[in-house]
Amino acid sequence: MRNARQNAILTYLAEHGEAKNSELLSLTEGVSAMTLWRDLEKLEAEGLIMRFRGGAASTVGGKGGEGQEINFLRRVRQNTDAKESIAEIAASLMQPDQAYFMDAGSTVYTLVHHLHSGNYNFITSAVNIAAELAKHTNYDVTMLGGQVGSNTLSCSGPQTEEMLRGINIDIAIMAASGWAQSTGFTSGRYAEAQVKKMVVEKSAVSVMLIDAEKLAKRHPFIFAELSDIDALIGDENLPEEFRYECRQRGILVFTPDDGRTAAERDAAFRELLDRKHA
């Protein structure tokens, strides 16, 4: 049975979607941080909330429908340092006057918030990424239609694939749920893997964003092998043997500890684009 304090937390999160621990502490005067921790632990065990660093979010709907995005929010708040470092490098390489496909995923979502100013042309299958991009009036955003996956907030299915057939993509910014040497890059849903595979095949240049935690994770559906990727951006924890294998296959590998300056990364990437577009 829940006490009044726990019910107050649930009500607040249902109304606001999520809240910081400092906000939740203010709901009941005199409650210690340890008591709040125990309350949140109990509510999470019941499946009513999701905890993240410094706060919690409702999993049962709420104001603005935030609960529908709970699985995505969980991923956004995991391994944030790696996502930020990958996003910063990717943003530094992206320039206007190219048609970019922005894949679904928490790392790509992080990248959206690091983009530099300019006139960009974006195509995406991700509902939340399209919404973020559309906030910028100088971005031309094309949203692919289809069946929306509740976990990834991404569209897939026959409608998505039909729209893709009529679109040219210069650079695909891709994400994967996992990679293993025996399988390649994988996704958890067949329909989404089919869209990813089609994007990689249609793109002049494919750039994979992946952190070390995704390596050795295998999901059911394969959408690309290393040989399908032109550049890979990872975090500093990528194993050296993985980096070496990528380089052996001619893949450009960018990481925060790669020893390159921003100008050197940009020059290497421009050379790749010139070669692919020749």
Whole-number pLDDT of residue 75: 59
Bridge partners (DSSP) of residue 252 are 231
CB contact at 8 A, 59 and 44: no
CB burial of 17-26 (b: ≥16 within 10 Å; e: otherwise) equals bbbebeebbe
Question: In the chain, what are the domains?
Answer: 4-69 (1.10.10.10), 80-277 (3.40.50.1360)
**Among all chains, which residue has been given the structure tokens 């999901």?**
219
The model's pLDDT over 206-245, given as tens digits with 9 standing for 90+, comes to 999 999 989 978 788 999 999 999 999 999 999 999 999 9
Give strand ranges (E) for 29-124.
Answer: 49-52, 55-58, 99-102, 120-124
The mean per-residue pLDDT over the stretch 167-194 comes to 92
Q: For residue 157, is it left (φ>0), alpha (ψ between -120 and 50) or beta?
A: left
- pTM value is 0.75
The mean per-residue pLDDT over the stretch 182-206 comes to 94
The model's pLDDT over 98-157, given as tens digits with 9 standing for 90+, comes to 999 999 988 999 999 999 988 999 999 999 999 999 999 899 999 999 998 877 889 999
Q: Compute φ and ψ for 241, nearest 5 degrees.
A: -65, -35
Q: Which amino acid is at 19?
A: A
Q: What tokens does 66 get?
A: 């935030």
pLDDT at 6 over 90: no
Q: Compute φ and ψ for 130, nearest 5 degrees.
A: -60, -40
Q: What tokens does 221 get?
A: 């559906």
∠ CA 183-187-191 to the nearest 5 degrees?
A: 120
Residue 195's SS3 state is helix
